[in-house]
Structures are given as structure tokens and as C-alpha cells.
Amino acid sequence: MNKKSSYQLIQGNEAAAEGALAAGVSFFAGYPITPSTEIAEILSDRLPANGGKFIQMEDEIGSIAAIIGASIGGRKVLTATSGPGFSLMQENLGFACLAEVPLVIVNVMRGGPSTGMPTSPSQGDVMQARWGTHGDHPIIVLSPGSVEEAFHYTVKAVNFAEKYRNPVIVLMDEIIGHMRARVSLPPTSMIERVNRVHPNMPPEWYLPYERSATGVAPMASFGDGYRHHVTGLVHDAKGFPTADPNEARNNIRGLFTKIERGFRELCLVDYEFMDDAEHAIIAYGGMVLSARSALEQLRKSGRKVGLIKLGTLWPFPRFALEQYLPQLKTILVPELNMGQIYREVLRVNAGKAVVEKLNRVNGTIITPNEIVKTVKGLIR
């Protein structure tokens, strides 16, 4: 016990790969794409060495299909991609939402749309991560704000996927993915691993989509004797397609209910200097680094500024903002897109504080000085 963890110099993509292994992922299917490829390369080495499996598929559509198949076979699964590949995965992502198949997608965001700016940072996929697949569905999206968090959030993503039988997206940006940092990763024995709940009733009693009190149904693996049907059609508790309005409602509402019940647990938020803050910066991903640096400068010059760091983007942690609204005069949302979380902030703010956005879509980052200047302008 308490084996001392050692320091290492690694990049965010490596940390995510280490997180996947620490969480017990034993199956990866993927397709090469910048800037996420290191994750596939690392896991192609490390998985077989740990008895796991790696397969390079013919495209990203096949990659997510393969991890869904493997997850139904009982494995903890993950894939990694970037913008164009994430677009290709959307249809089967919806399948996993409806069929309630645990899986994790690490999307290392790059400039878009289309082929965009493959080696440049962006946060343009926030709304795609939420709504990219067709139809109404809930989704869990985590956004690591440091290399160390790339490890911890990937572990959490795997655990959430297993616990809620839902796809989880680790929405990393190229800043975190390719930044190297000195981090201390805990030994595997110290990692909390969550496993999906398997059925324990006799197979003939098993209903694959009958929700337990947690809102999540136990999940049998193919081959375990609980023969059942899995489909992308709206289905009843037996898993069979249905057009019955009540059964269809129960199916879709049930997807939302399980995420609503887990809402507080799913919301990862950190607060820095918020106790007496009159002005807040709301940031996530690589923009946390600029925001934190700006915050130090602003506090040194006596401004009552704080940081709300969103680790979870979806479901949107609205309480993180709501609890501070009575004391806040201004809010700044710096993002490497045209204002995707900004709109959520506007919605939750509901006209109370002054909300301003700071956006960049040219493949470069927003610097701390720019944030300082903008906040000062707002305060004045």
C-alpha cells in the first residue's frame, strides 16, 4: 500500500492513455488522426502487454462500432480521435446512447470545421459533443484543464460510462493533448475502478432494459448466458423494437432520468478565489491555464476576480454559476470558439450579471494578458 507515485514528464495524450489503462480499459479501436494519434500508438503497445486488445480499424465509423461490440462483450472500452473522426463517429455514438453501451471517446479538438487546422488548438466541438448525434439524448462530457487532469478525467470518464451505461466524451483540446508537464500519477492500486452492474437473477428473468432503483439497468455481456437483444431501434424493457407510445416514452425518458439522478456526481467543477469574487472567469480545457494566470495578475492588482473551472461541460453544471450569481457583477467566458459555453452561461445567468465573451478561432490561444485586459475593461 501507499507505494509512492513517481514524477514523470508526459503530454496530455499520454496521460489520457495512462488513465485509460489505470481505469481498466482493455479494448481500444481507433484510426490515426492528428492531434490524438499518440493515444492509439501508446495503447497499441500497452494494451497487449497487459492482456488487452488494440485494433486499428478502416475508419472512425468502424472504430466506434468495434468498441461498442467489445463493450457488449463485457470489456471496458475507449477510442480516441479528433474533429473529422469525431464527426464520423456521431451515428454510432447515438446507437451507444440508445442501447446504453458504456464507452469513452477522447476527442482531442483541433481547428475546424472540416479538415480545418489539424495541428492547432480549438474548442469548437463543445456543441457537437452535446448534440452531434441525431435525436434527443443525454451525454456526459468532461474537459480536462491540465495534463494531470487528462489522466484523472479519463479514469472518471471510464467509471461514469460503466456506472451510467452511457457514452462519455473526454473533450480535450490540442493545448492539453500536446502540452508536456511534470505530473505525479498515482499507482494503479490507488485508482478507484467502477464496474458496470451485471445481472444476478436467473437468465430467464432478465430484462435487459428494466431499470433498477438507480435508473440504470444491469448489463449482461454476450456469452454470459443472458441471451438478449440489443438494437438501435427504440425498444421495450426486453430490448425488442416497439412503436408503442408508452414504451417509447419510457425508453427515451429513462435515458434522461439516469443522468438527472447522477447530476451532482457527474458535475466536476473547481472554484478558485470565488468566495469574495465580484467578477468571475468561466473557463475549461486549455483556457483554464490562461485564465488562472490572468487571475493571479488581477488578484495582485486588487481586483476581486475568481475562476469557475468547468471540468464537466455536459450536463451543464448550472449550480456552479447560480450559487455565485447574487454576488457577481460581471462574468467573462474565454473560449477557442465563437462562444459555445458562453450561450449556456447566458442562459443560466438569465440577465443577472453582465456576461461577456472572449473568442478566438485562428488557431492560436487567448493569452493571460488579453484576459486581464478584458476583465479590467469589464470592471471599469
Partner 1 sequence: MISNSELVNKYFRHNKKFPHIWCPGCGIGIILGNMLRAIDALDMNKNEIAFVSGIGCTGRAPVYVDFNTLHTTHGRALPFATGLKLARPELKVLVATGDGDATAIGGNHLIHACRRNIDITTIIFNNYIYGMTGGQYSPTTPHSDKASTCKLGNIERPFNISQLVEAAGATFVGRTTSYHTLQLQSIIKKAIMHKGFSVVEVITHCPTTYGRINKKGTAVDMLKWQKEVAVDKSRADKMDPKELEGKIITGILMEKQLPEFCEQYDTIIEKAQSMKNNQQGKSK
Cell of 110: 483541433
- Taking Cα atoms as reference points, which of 263, 371, 256, 272 lies closest to residue 317? 263
Site string for partner 1, 76-95 (x = CB under 8 A): -x-------------xx--x
Contacts of 223 (CB under 8 A, 6+ apart): 73, 74
Q: Three-class SS of residue 58?
A: coil
Under rule CB under 8 A, residue 378 binds partner 1: no
- Binders of partner 1: how many residues, by CB under 8 A? 44
Choose between 220 and 333: whose C-beta lies nearer to partner 1: 220
Choose between 32 and 241: whose C-beta lies nearer to partner 1: 241
What is the enclosing helix (H) or strand (E) of 127?
A: helix 126-131
Under rule CB under 8 A, residue 21 binds partner 1: no
The distance of closest approach from Cβ of residue 13 to partner 1 in the complex, given in angstroms and rounded to an integer, is 20
What is the enclosing helix (H) or strand (E) of 97?
A: helix 83-99
Cell of 11: 503530454
- Taking Cα atoms as reference points, which of 99, 95, 120 lies closest to residue 110? 120
Angstrom distance (rounded) from CA 222 to CA 208:
12
Give how far Cα 85 sits from Cα of 8, 161, 314, Å: 30, 20, 20
Residue 170 CA, chain-centre distance (Å), reads 3
- The one among 49, 114, 134, 205 contacting partner 1 by CB under 8 A: 49
The distance of closest approach from Cβ of residue 58 to partner 1 in the complex, given in angstroms and rounded to an integer, is 4
The distance of closest approach from Cβ of residue 69 to partner 1 in the complex, given in angstroms and rounded to an integer, is 3
Grid-cell match 458562453, residue found: 342
- Contact of 319 with 107, CB cutoff 8 Å: no
Under rule CB under 8 A, residue 274 binds partner 1: no
The distance of closest approach from Cβ of residue 209 to partner 1 in the complex, given in angstroms and rounded to an integer, is 13
254 CB burial (10 A radius; 0-12, 13-18, 19+): middle
Under rule CB under 8 A, residue 53 binds partner 1: yes
Residue 268 CA, chain-centre distance (Å), reads 10
Sole window of 1-9, 68-76, 145-153, 168-176 interacting with partner 1 (rule: CB under 8 A): 68-76
The distance of closest approach from Cβ of residue 229 to partner 1 in the complex, given in angstroms and rounded to an integer, is 5
Site string for partner 1, 281-300 (x = CB under 8 A): --------------------
Under rule CB under 8 A, residue 263 binds partner 1: no
Under rule CB under 8 A, residue 51 binds partner 1: yes
The distance of closest approach from Cβ of residue 15 to partner 1 in the complex, given in angstroms and rounded to an integer, is 20
Choose between 224 and 260: whose C-beta lies nearer to partner 1: 224
Buried b (16+ CB within 10 A) or exposed e, 58-84: eebbbbbbbbbbbbbebbbbbbbbbbb
- The one among 25, 70, 216, 283 contacting partner 1 by CB under 8 A: 70
Q: Residues in the chain, how many? A: 380
Angstrom distance (rounded) from CA 27 to CA 66:
9
Under rule CB under 8 A, residue 73 binds partner 1: yes
Choose between 59 and 265: whose C-beta lies nearer to partner 1: 59
Under rule CB under 8 A, residue 62 binds partner 1: yes
Choose between 58 and 276: whose C-beta lies nearer to partner 1: 58
Q: Tell me which residues in 312-341 interact with partner 1 (CB under 8 A).
A: none
Q: Tell me which residues in 208-247 interact with partner 1 (CB under 8 A).
A: 221-225, 227-233, 238, 240-241
The distance of closest approach from Cβ of residue 134 to partner 1 in the complex, given in angstroms and rounded to an integer, is 11
- The one among 48, 113, 187, 377 contacting partner 1 by CB under 8 A: 48
- Taking Cα atoms as reference points, which of 261, 63, 19 lies closest to residue 164? 261
- The one among 10, 17, 39, 65 contacting partner 1 by CB under 8 A: 65
- The one among 34, 41, 69, 303 contacting partner 1 by CB under 8 A: 69
Angstrom distance (rounded) from CA 75 to CA 195:
10
- Taking Cα atoms as reference points, which of 115, 126, 118, 44 lies closest to residue 78? 44
Task: Return residues touching partner 1 (CB under 8 A).
Answer: 27, 29, 45, 48-49, 51, 53, 55, 57-59, 61-63, 65-75, 77, 91-92, 95, 221-225, 227-233, 238, 240-241
